[in-house]
Chain A
Amino acid sequence: MRIRRNRLLAAPLFALLGIAAFASPAQASGESVGGCMAEVIHEAEEHHGKDHDVLHDEHVQDELEKCFEAPNPILPELNEIVWGGAAFLILFVLMVKKGFPAVKGAMDARAEKIRTDLDAAEQARTDAQAVQADYEERLADAKAEASRLIDEARGAADQVRTDLMARHEAEMAELRARAAADIESSRTQAIADLRAEVAGIALGAAERVVQSSLDTEVQGRLIDAYIDEVAGGNG
């Protein structure tokens, strides 16, 4: 492939070198007027001999005058028409068969690829927008669900707290009642104990005072009466 490309590049290069080497401006043709005249005179002298006065010969003069005539530049040369026409024809065939379709085909393929890519990009954008909308919808749903769950949790927590408080208060009330009962029981017990203790003390004191013995029943009655008296006196 590289070799073919190099050959393709070499073709115009050789053509240019060929033109420069073989047809430099110094080689421009068209014989000069002087050269043409010299050639005509030389030919006439060869034809008629050196002794003949060629410059006064009518035929030679006509030939010399032709040397001043420049060729009509507007008339095309046959060889240039042949080569130029053939060159254009060859180039046209090359372009129609290979060059133009290849370049235009590449351009069209590129345009088609760009069009396809743009369509694909547009489709991808639409898809992405749809996905984004879906995600946004899902996100909104999730947020709503989360909010609902939080509310539910908050409600449940409030309920639990209320229940706990109620239970706690009930327990406290129960404890308080139990403590009150215990206190009452302890107080009654303490009073009974105190009464017995006081009775013993009072009896001992009375025995010492009266120095007499009493039976137990009388002792009890005396003590109770004493206590009631004391209690009444305190109350």
Chain B
Amino acid sequence: MNVLALDFPPVSHLFEWPDMLFSGTAYAINKTVLIYLAAVAITAAIFLLAGRKTGSLVPAGVQHVAESGVTFIEESVVMETIGEEGKKFMPFLTTMFFFILFSNIFEVIPGIQFPANSRMAIPITLALVVWVIYNFVGIKAQGFGGYLKNSLFPPGVPVALYLIVTPIELVSTFVVRPFSLAIRLWANMVAGHLLLVTFAVLTHTLWSNGFVGAVAPFSMLVMMTGFEILVSVLQAFIFTILTAVYIGGSLHPAH
């Protein structure tokens, strides 16, 4: 796409990757899939290696990374939103945090530079898994009727307002939540990737037409790269903490 002499690639070129193996099948492998697999390999390697170093009193290296992650999820996510009862969800929440984080962070890894969560597959899959889990937890904790009643008729609301509140709660809790969860992650990663590509293309074009003009977009590219690292971590955290909030809400309807 040629805009104001900029050779900006079509959006499909930025997010869709050709199949490398099993082309055209439901199990075709492309760059996005490889990033998912890398996220699995990295997370598993960190935790399996950290789990083997049990003797040292002061954690270091991967052990420190894994333990910091676990402590972060426990103290900043689970204990803040669910409480002691939520510790049984720790493995799920930790897995989700690291998987999303490593899928995102490839956005700034040189040579790869693509956030796998700018594709909708994992955001929507995880969001639907979360939807199933928090509804299951709610029904198990409060019973089907109790869960529906507490979800649709929040206590403390004047009866007349239920006419407005109940439909909103119905749509918000059972329909919108998984999509808002998925779209928040997906859209943030898409936007970040587009920003990086935009400044990279600008830098490249202006570099070709004289070096001086490239300074500003290159500075922005460096800044945005740092910012996207923050966004990658933040989005993984937001997805995880919202999951914990939903689970906590299902366990403790009064909150």
Most buried by B among A14, A23, A84, A106: A84
On whether A27 and B17 interact (CB within 8 A), knowing A19-B38, A79-B33, A94-B44, the answer reads yes
Contact B38 A16 (CB under 8 A): yes
Among residues of B, the one whose C-beta sits closest to the C-beta of A100 is B91
Whether A48 sits at the interface, judged by CB under 8 Å, is no
Whether A32 sits at the interface, judged by CB under 8 Å, is yes
Select which of A23, A92, A98, A99 is within 8 A of B92 by beta carbon. Answer: A92
Q: How far is the CA of A27 from the CA of B4 in the complex (A)?
A: 25
On whether A106 and B54 interact (CB within 8 A), knowing A11-B44, A83-B36, A94-B44, the answer reads yes
Q: Is the interface of A mostly helix, strand, loop or mixed?
A: helix
Among residues of B, the one whose C-beta sits closest to the C-beta of A78 is B26
Whether B28 sits at the interface, judged by CB under 8 Å, is yes
Q: How far is the CA of A106 from the CA of B57 in the complex (A)?
A: 10
Q: How far is the CA of A201 from the CA of B210 in the complex (A)?
A: 164
Contact B42 A99 (CB under 8 A): no
Among residues of B, the one whose C-beta sits closest to the C-beta of A23 is B31
Instruction: Give the residues in chain B near A24, CB-CB below 8 Å.
Output: 111
Contact B70 A100 (CB under 8 A): yes
Whether A209 sits at the interface, judged by CB under 8 Å, is no
Contact B9 A28 (CB under 8 A): yes
Whether A153 sits at the interface, judged by CB under 8 Å, is no
Contact A12 B10 (CB under 8 A): no
Encode contact with B along A3-29: 1 for CB under 8 Å, 0 otherwise. Answer: 001001101101110111011110111
Contact A102 B50 (CB under 8 A): yes
Contact A71 B16 (CB under 8 A): yes
On whether A79 and B26 interact (CB within 8 A), knowing A11-B44, A70-B11, the answer reads yes
Chain A residues numbered 177-193 whose CB sits less than 8 Å from any CB in chain B: none
Q: Is the interface of B mostly helix, strand, loop or mixed?
A: helix
Chain B residues numbered 70-106 whose CB sits less than 8 Å from any CB in chain A: 70-71, 90-92, 94-96, 99, 106
Contact B70 A91 (CB under 8 A): no
Contact A70 B12 (CB under 8 A): yes
Whether B67 sits at the interface, judged by CB under 8 Å, is yes
Instruction: Give the residues in chain B near A99, CB-CB below 8 Å.
Output: 43-44, 47-48, 50-51, 66
Among residues of A, the one whose C-beta sits closest to the C-beta of B106 is A19
Among residues of A, the one whose C-beta sits closest to the C-beta of B15 is A73
Q: How far is the CA of A76 from the CA of B26 in the complex (A)?
A: 12
Contact B10 A15 (CB under 8 A): no
Q: How far is the CA of A96 from the CA of B92 in the complex (A)?
A: 8
Among residues of A, the one whose C-beta sits closest to the C-beta of B125 is A85
Whether A205 sits at the interface, judged by CB under 8 Å, is no
Q: How far is the CA of A102 from the CA of B45 in the complex (A)?
A: 13
Contact B54 A76 (CB under 8 A): no
Contact A103 B70 (CB under 8 A): yes
Whether B122 sits at the interface, judged by CB under 8 Å, is yes
A69 to chain B, nearest CB (A): 10
Q: How far is the CA of A72 from the CA of B99 in the complex (A)?
A: 25
Whether B53 sits at the interface, judged by CB under 8 Å, is yes
Whether A82 sits at the interface, judged by CB under 8 Å, is yes
Contact B124 A76 (CB under 8 A): yes
On whether A102 and B52 interact (CB within 8 A), knowing A8-B45, A23-B34, A25-B113, the answer reads yes
B119 to chain A, nearest CB (A): 6
Q: How far is the CA of A95 from the CA of B120 in the complex (A)?
A: 24
Q: How far is the CA of A22 from the CA of B43 in the complex (A)?
A: 22
Contact A107 B121 (CB under 8 A): no
Contact B30 A79 (CB under 8 A): yes
List the interface of chain A (C-beta within 8 A of B).
1, 5, 8-9, 11-12, 14-16, 18-20, 22-25, 27-30, 32-33, 70-71, 73-85, 87-88, 90-92, 94-96, 98-107, 109-110, 113-114
The 5 closest A-B pairs by CB, nearest first: A102-B51, A99-B47, A23-B31, A30-B12, A80-B121
Known: A85-B121, A103-B66. 7 other contacts (CB 8 A): A8-B48, A9-B45, A23-B31, A27-B18, A77-B119, A84-B36, A98-B48
List the interface of chain B (C-beta within 8 A of A).
9-20, 22, 25-45, 47-54, 57, 63, 66-67, 70-71, 90-92, 94-96, 99, 106, 109, 111-114, 116, 119-122, 124-126, 129, 183, 186, 190
